[in-house]
Amino acid sequence: MNREQVEYFVGSYGKMTDEALAYLLVTRNGQLSEEAEYALRHILGKRNPATLRQATEAAGRDLNAQEQHATRHAEVHKTTATVARWVLRGICILIFLRGIFEMLNGERNAVFGLALGVICLVAVELRRLLRWVLREMFNMR
């Protein structure tokens, strides 16, 4: 164990409030180096256990609330993205159908409507497919 690192951590942790130490315990428990863990145990031995327990419980409740909020936000974002994608698909299909009706009516530039509808639909689907491939390739979740 490196003595200089232990002294550094004792100095750093000694300056922290009970709330900051509680967040450190809740978020980094089991992930600290040997020196940091030793220094943390040393500092916690000098603090009031009841106050630390209350601060730790409050930090746990706060982190759980943050996780629930992030989960709800992600669900809303996913739903919004799905609805937007279906709206874009619908618009592309309407453009394509308009091109078909123009072609049936003998319009001269009906091919542009058909092409525009197909290009829009392909662009929407390619964008989604590309994002899926990148996410799977780099495991970005």
pLDDT higher for 1 or 69? 69
pTM above 0.95, yes or no: no
Query: SS3 of 2, please?
Result: coil
Q: Give pLDDT tens digits for 78-99.
A: 999 899 989 988 998 898 888 8
Does residue 48 surpass a pLDDT of 90?
Answer: no
Does residue 61 surpass a pLDDT of 70?
Answer: yes
Q: Whole-number mean pLDDT of the chain? A: 88
9 vs 61: CA distance, rounded Å: 26
